């Protein structure tokens, strides 16, 4: 009622007919931490400032383009003609252009740019970028998680929206540093924030398993420790992708032009020896090849490469080999994209598995059923999800487990993420009741708010049960969840039990014969 009715007249009083509602929190907002070409919005630095982007164009605008990863090419040793009779010296007869070797300069390798491309190709949407440095810096564990200055992972502690954490460049660190960063990721997700999920890559994930002391998966399991395992999932092996096209690569990627010139000249000599081209034509081609060492203008480089790519199959082969090296990427950004795609198209209760990966040719290591047994069901429970190639189906994610595979509660990724979604949604809704009277009216109102939310989740298929009563249970009140002392201390307690959908990981179909009946 109006507080003052001293003056005659008509007074209007509105009453709320409906209670508050629970707004579902986002479930698919990854945060990527790593190195970028720049980190600027206009003149304002974005270094160590989590920045939300909605598409790849916005990433390029704020964080720049691809790194210029460099390679060293080593031509094969020249062939030596055996000594003739007497003591005549050996004669060098040229080299075999087929046997060159390429070695990547690790100090110029960065993964963030291509990882974000892989993320968006696989269904990614809005995400956060935390740039911890530029391509002129050396990748370090300190930058990726600088607790002292609140950089890297620590910068995300002030942001509640991100729900997934990925650091693809962790695998570029020394092995021990990689594991320390991954352990820090799990701690950030499961201890400090409790509202997000870590996606981890196996260090050395392009190597075959050896099942001995040097086995890459077993070393990963030991390295990440045993804390907060339910808050993360790991994927093996690395991926052979098509993110980087060989047309994006030019010969300036090679640190030693002379090595490239030697390989290409050897190709010309072989063609002359096979009578494929004349000596005069060979001299003209070698003159073009020699320009590699002196051409610096971008337009001239493009023109020269266009010319050489027509007359030198070897150059095209080298550029393809470089692109193949650059296209070996960790699976975490692709999986972050799949998490987003599944959440947005179905719901968070759907396991991000049995799905094909976009822009992926194959896993870098082939895994069969026998090899996957130890990945999925190890004795220590630290399950690592396999990415496998299936004939006619492409490259599929063939695992849906957290690192805590022995837990009945949080063995599956979808269960852990669904519980986080429910917890965070109800938590934010309950904040509106802070400082409300701790009485039956507040309890009833809060219970109705939570009931409506959980009923909606049951209707959408996130909770399992033939009726809402089978799907969830809410308890609140004096003598039920609270004591008189709790009320005197200003504590309101509510207990919620939910039945979360679990994936059908193993499907067993039984066949038997029956007698003829007619």
pLDDT above 90 covers a percentage of the chain that reads 80
Report pLDDT digits (tens) over 307-333. Answer: 998 989 999 999 999 999 999 999 999
Start-to-end C-alpha separation, the chain: 82
- Count other Cβ atoms within 10 Å, centred on residue 139: 22
Whole-Å CA distances, 278 to 287, 290, 318: 14, 18, 24
On average, the pLDDT of the chain sits at 92
Closest CA to 160 of 423, 496, 437, 493: 423
**Which tokens is 367 given?**
């895994």
Structure-model confidence comparison of residues 90 and 192, the more confident one:
192
Pull the structure tokens for residue 452. 């409506």
Q: Is 125 exposed, middle or buried (0-12, 13-18, 19+ CB in 10 A)?
A: middle
Q: For residue 86, is pLDDT > 70?
A: no
Helix (H) or strand (E) holding 388: strand 385-390
CA-nearest of 193, 192, 142 to 33 is: 142
Per-residue H/E/C for 251-298: HHHECCHHHHHHHHHHHHHHHHHCCCCCHHHHHHHHHHHHHHHCCCCH
For residue 14, what pLDDT band results from cuts at 50, 70 and 90? confident
- Take residue 127 and report the two structure tokens written for it: 């995400």
- Give the residue from 148, 203, 213, 160 showing the smallest Cα distance to 181: 203
**Residues 106, 112, 115, 120: what is their CA dihedral angle, to the nearest 10 degrees?**
-160
Distance CA 257, CA 262 (A): 9
Assign 82 a pLDDT band (cuts: 50, 70, 90). low
pLDDT confidence of residue 98: 66
Query: In terms of C-beta density within 10 A (0-12 exposed, 13-18 middle, 19 or more buried), how is residue 223 classed?
Result: middle
- Determine which of 36-40, 75-79, 105-109 has the lowest per-residue pLDDT on average: 75-79
Question: What pLDDT score does 80 carry?
Answer: 57
pLDDT in tens, 172-202: 999 999 999 999 999 999 999 999 999 999 9
pLDDT at 95: 47
Residue 94 confidence (pLDDT): 47
Does residue 422 surpass a pLDDT of 90? yes
The domain locations on the chain are 30-67+106-243+328-398, 71-104+246-326, 436-518
Q: What angle do CA 362, 306, 361 make, to 5 degrees?
A: 5
The label of the residue with tokens 């003056």 reads: 7
Q: What is the C-alpha to C-alpha distance for residues 123 and 349, in angstroms, rounded to an integer?
A: 17
- Residue 79: the pLDDT is 59
Chain segment 264-309, per-residue pLDDT in tens: 999 999 999 988 889 999 999 999 999 999 888 888 998 999 999 8
CB atoms within 10 A of CB 200: 30
> Which conformational region is residue 76 in: left (phi greater than 0), alpha (psi within -120 to 50 degrees), or beta?
beta
376: Cβ contacts below 8 Å, ≥ 6 apart: 383, 384, 385, 386, 399, 401, 405
Of 13, 18, 10, residue with least CA distance to 1 = 13
Average pLDDT of 392-414? 94
Q: Smallest Cα–Cα separation from 276: which of 228, 314, 248?
A: 314
Using pLDDT thresholds of 50, 70 and 90, give the confidence band for residue 92.
very low
Q: What is the pLDDT of residues 361-390, one digit of tens each?
A: 999 999 999 889 999 999 999 999 999 999
Task: For residues 270 and 263, give the distance between their C-alpha atoms in angstroms, rounded to a whole number.
Answer: 11
Percent of the residues in the chain that have a pLDDT greater than 70, as a whole number: 95
Burial 149-163 (b: 16+ CB within 10 A, else e): eebbbbbbeeeeebb
Q: Cα–Cα distance between 243 and 122 in angstroms, integer? A: 11
What the block records as the tokens of 58 is 């916005």
pLDDT tens digit sequence for 200-245: 999 999 999 999 999 999 999 999 999 999 999 999 999 999 999 9
3-state secondary structure 98-124: HHCEEEECHHHCCCHHHHHHHHHHCCC
Q: Residue 256 and residue 169: Cα distance in Å, rounded?
A: 26
The residue-averaged pLDDT of 20-29 equals: 89
* Residue matched to tokens 């390295």: 223
The reported pLDDT for the residue numbered 45 is: 97
The pLDDT value given to residue 5: 83
Class of domain 30-67+106-243+328-398: alpha beta
- pLDDT of residue 16 exceeding 80: no
DSSP string, 157-219: GG--S--EEE-GGGGGS-HHHHHHHHHHHHHIIIIIISS-EEEEE-TTTTSPP-SSTT-HHHH
369 within 8 A of 390, measured Cβ to Cβ? no
Using only C-alpha atoms, what is the Rg of the chain?
A: 30
CA 472 to chain centre: 33
Q: 330: buried, middle or exposed (CB in 10 Å: 19+, 13-18, 0-12)?
A: buried
3-class secondary-structure state, position 397: strand
Mean pLDDT of the 483-491 span: 95
Question: Which of 44, 63, 214 minimizes the C-alpha distance to 127?
Answer: 63
Q: Is 325 helix (H, G, I), strand (E, B) or coil?
A: helix
């Amino acid at each position: 009622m109006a507080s003052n009715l001293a003056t005659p007249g008509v007074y209007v009083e509105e009453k709320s007919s409906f209670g508050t509602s629970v707004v579902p929190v986002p479930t698919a907002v990854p945060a990527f931490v790593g190195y970028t070409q720049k980190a600027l919005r206009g003149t304002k630095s974005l270094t160590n400032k989590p920045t939300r982007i909605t598409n790849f164009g916005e990433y390029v605008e704020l964080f720049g383009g691809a790194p210029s990863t460099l390679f060293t090419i080593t031509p094969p040793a020249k062939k030596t003609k055996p000594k003739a009779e007497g003591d005549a010296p050996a004669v060098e007869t040229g080299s075999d252009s087929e046997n060159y070797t390429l070695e990547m300069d690790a100090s110029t390798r960065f993964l963030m740019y291509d990882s974000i491309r892989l993320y968006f190709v696989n269904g990614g949407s809005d995400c956060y970028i935390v740039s911890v440095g530029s391509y002129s810096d050396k990748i370090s564990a300190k930058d990726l998680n600088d607790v002292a200055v609140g950089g890297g992972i620590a910068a995300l502690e002030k942001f509640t929206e991100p729900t997934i954490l990925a650091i693809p460049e962790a695998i570029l660190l020394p092995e021990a540093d990689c594991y320390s960063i991954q352990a820090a990721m799990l701690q950030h997700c499961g201890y400090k924030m409790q509202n997000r999920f870590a996606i981890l890559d196996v260090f050395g994930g392009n190597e075959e398993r050896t099942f001995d002391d040097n086995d890459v998966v077993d070393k990963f399991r030991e390295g990440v420790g045993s804390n907060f395992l339910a808050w993360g999932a790991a994927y093996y092996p690395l991926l052979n992708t098509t993110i980087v096209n060989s047309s994006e690569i030019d010969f300036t990627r090679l640190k030693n032009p002379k090595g490239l010139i030697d390989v290409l000249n050897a190709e010309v000599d072989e063609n002359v020896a096979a009578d494929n081209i004349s000596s005069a034509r060979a001299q003209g081609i070698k003159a073009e090849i020699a320009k590699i060492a002196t051409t610096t203008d971008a337009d001239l480089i493009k023109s020269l490469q266009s010319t050489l790519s027509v007359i030198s199959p070897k150059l095209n082969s080298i550029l393809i080999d470089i692109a193949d090296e650059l296209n070996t990427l960790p699976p975490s950004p692709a999986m972050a994209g799949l998490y987003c795609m599944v959440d947005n198209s179905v719901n968070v209760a759907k396991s991000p598995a049995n799905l094909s990966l976009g822009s992926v040719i194959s896993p870098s290591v082939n895994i069969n059923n026998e090899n996957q047994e130890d990945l999925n069901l190890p004795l220590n429970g630290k399950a690592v999800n396999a990415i496998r190639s299936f004939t006619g189906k492409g490259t599929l994610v063939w695992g849906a487990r957290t690192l805590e595979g022995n837990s009945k509660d949080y063995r599956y990724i979808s269960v852990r993420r669904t519980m986080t979604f429910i917890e965070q949604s109800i938590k934010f809704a309950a904040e509106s009741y802070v400082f409300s009277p701790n009485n039956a009216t507040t309890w009833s109102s809060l219970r109705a708010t939570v009931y409506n939310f959980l009923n909606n989740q049951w209707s959408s298929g996130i909770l399992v049960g033939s009726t809402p009563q089978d799907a969830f249970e809410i308890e609140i009140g004096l003598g039920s969840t609270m004591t008189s002392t709790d009320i005197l201390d200003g504590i309101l307690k509510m207990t919620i039990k939910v039945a979360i959908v679990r994936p059908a990981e193993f499907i067993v179909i039984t066949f038997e014969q029956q007698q003829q009946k007619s």
